[in-house]
Structure 1
Amino acid sequence: METDLELAQRAALTGAAEALRHFAVIADLPQETKKDGSVVTVADRAVETVIREVLTAARPGDAILGEEHGETATGNGRRWIIDPIDGTALFVRGDNRWLVLIALEVDGVVTTGVQVVPAQGVAWWAQRGQGSYRGRVLNDRLVEAERIRVAGAPAGMGEARLGVVPIDWGREVAASLIAVADERPWPVHPPLLVAQGDLDVAVQTGGEIWDFAASSVIIPEAGGVFRGLAGQTGPDRGPFVFASSPELLDEALGILRGQNAQIAH
């Protein structure tokens, strides 16, 4: 029988293939605006549907929570968490940095996470206690797997390489860090760049549990740390900060909290 990680990878790759089918005709894809102001398309729903089909067939007793189709509840303590297209605003613009995200939570702890960037043919994954990895997607398979680690932490935020996501809204949340750190452009999701040593700090200025679940195992398994601006230590509603060391995380959070305290007054 497939392991949980193997199943998560297969489901994510199935979703990635479905997403690419829609991405190829993105100019003709109808768009809607959800109540929270975010964009959704038929692709988001179709991708979540095929992922759910894979997971349900293999683990019929497990619960599933997805951004587009809600939650199916069970009592076995296992829940799959899906973001079918993370970065739909990028997707509809034809930008290739959007992702497919899948995580497995067991008794309230995320144990497995997979993130695929389908349009770039690359993926990241981790299982608790077994390290974080990156590989290429080739013919719906993951190949050339290599273990990844965070970089050695710089002396402080003044020397830190910073990534902020999203790129077009919510940046005011990270304004105080942007002012002191070396903000870099990012070819893929900034928390993943922290995990593989190409950034020191990443700020995700907003999101829900499905946006953070996979990262919440990939980042620690690569040696990094994360925490919500409100003190959350597990995936939840954002903002969240990811860093290559506890010291850098504390410094970044201190700067952000000082900024937000000033705004509040």
Structure 2
Amino acid sequence: METDLQLAQRAALVGAAVALKHFAALADLPREVKADGSIVTAADRAVEAAIREVLADARPDDSVLGEEAGESPGAADRRWIIDPIDGTRLFVAGDDRWLVLIGLEERGEIVAGVAAHPAQGSVWWATRGGGAFEGRVVGGRVVADTPIRAGGSATEPAGSRVGIVPEDWGLDLVAPLVAVAPPQPWTIHPALMVARGELDLAVQTGGQIWDFAATSLIVTEAGGSYSGLSGDERPGAGASVYARDPALRKQALELMSGS
């Protein structure tokens, strides 16, 4: 029987394959604007449906929460959390930095997470207590699993390497931070760059639990630190901060809050 991580990887690759077909035909992709102003496309819904089918077949008793289809009932202590296309605005613009995100929550704690950049052929994953890794996708399979580790020498926000996502949302929130540490360009999600040791800090200026479930675990299992603006280390709605260590994250939160 495949492990939960293996299942999450397989489901992410199935979703990625569906997404890439739509990504290759963007001119014909129907899209609309949700009530919150975000974009949704037929690709988002198709990817989520494909992932849900994989999960339901392998773990029929588990509950599933997805950005597009909401929550389906199941076991109270096991919930799969899906963001079928994280960064739909990037997707429809033909930008290859969008992701497929899948996390598994057990008794309120994220225990497995997979983050794939399908258009780049790369994938990241982690399990609670098992470390964090990155690999490549070749022939529909994950290969070359390489351990990753947060790192760097920054001990305070000033002068640290910072990534902001989205790059043009929530600028008032991050203004105090970017005043002392100009944001760096990013080719993969900034949280993953923190996990890799390529950034010291990353701020995602808004989102829901499906935006953070996988990446929060990957960063913490890589030795980094994660929380919402309140300091809560469980992923949830709002903005989130990823850092190379807890002390730097707390300093960044204090700076942005003006305390």
TM over 0.5: yes
- Identify the residue that residue 116 of structure 1 maps to in structure 2: 116
- Identify the residue that residue 106 of structure 1 maps to in structure 2: 106
What does 1:1-265 align with in structure 2 at a 5 Å threshold? 1-258=1-258
Q: 1:11, 1:55 within 8 Å by CA — same for their partners in 2?
A: yes
After the TM superposition, which of the residue ranges 174-183 and 118-127 deviates more from structure 2?
A: 174-183
SS in 1 for 2:158: helix
AA in 1 matched with 2:219: I
Q: 1:225, 1:246 within 8 Å by CA — same for their partners in 2?
A: yes
> TM-score with structure 1 length normalisation?
0.96
AA in 1 matched with 2:151: A
Q: 1:228, 1:241 within 8 Å by CA — same for their partners in 2?
A: yes
Distance 1:247 1:182 in 2: 20
AA in 2 matched with 1:95: D
AA in 2 matched with 1:180: V
Q: 2:152, 2:199 within 8 Å by CA — same for their partners in 1?
A: no
Distance 2:135 2:102 in 1: 16
Deviation at 1:159, TM superposition (A): 2.2
Distance 1:155 1:42 in 2: 44
SS in 2 for 1:112: strand
Distance 1:75 1:95 in 2: 37
Q: 2:226, 2:249 within 8 Å by CA — same for their partners in 1?
A: yes
Runs of 4 or more, structure 1, over 4 Å off, are none
Q: 2:229, 2:239 within 8 Å by CA — same for their partners in 1?
A: yes
AA in 2 matched with 1:158: A
SS in 2 for 1:123: strand
Q: 1:158, 1:182 within 8 Å by CA — same for their partners in 2?
A: no
Identity %: 58
Deviation at 1:232, TM superposition (A): 2.1
SS in 2 for 1:214: helix
Deviation at 1:152, TM superposition (A): 3.1
Q: 1:103, 1:113 within 8 Å by CA — same for their partners in 2?
A: yes
Deviation at 1:230, TM superposition (A): 2.1
SS in 2 for 1:60: coil
Deviation at 1:76, TM superposition (A): 4.3
Query: Where do 5+ consecutive residues of structure 2 fail to align?
Result: none
Distance 2:172 2:143 in 1: 39
Distance 1:110 1:99 in 2: 18
Q: 1:62, 1:74 within 8 Å by CA — same for their partners in 2?
A: yes
Query: Where do 5+ consecutive residues of structure 1 fail to align?
Result: none
CA-atom RMSD in angstroms: 1.0
Deviation at 1:23, TM superposition (A): 0.2
AA in 2 matched with 1:198: E
SS in 2 for 1:187: coil
Q: 1:78, 1:105 within 8 Å by CA — same for their partners in 2?
A: yes
Residues 60-115 of structure 1: per-residue CA shift (max 9 Å, x gap):
00000000001011234100000000000000000000000000001111000000
Residues 184-203 of structure 1: per-residue CA shift (max 9 Å, x gap):
10001000000000000000
SS in 1 for 2:84: strand
Q: 2:23, 2:91 within 8 Å by CA — same for their partners in 1?
A: yes
SS in 2 for 1:159: coil
SS in 2 for 1:82: strand
Residues 149-189 of structure 1: per-residue CA shift (max 9 Å, x gap):
00134132112100000012222211110110142100010
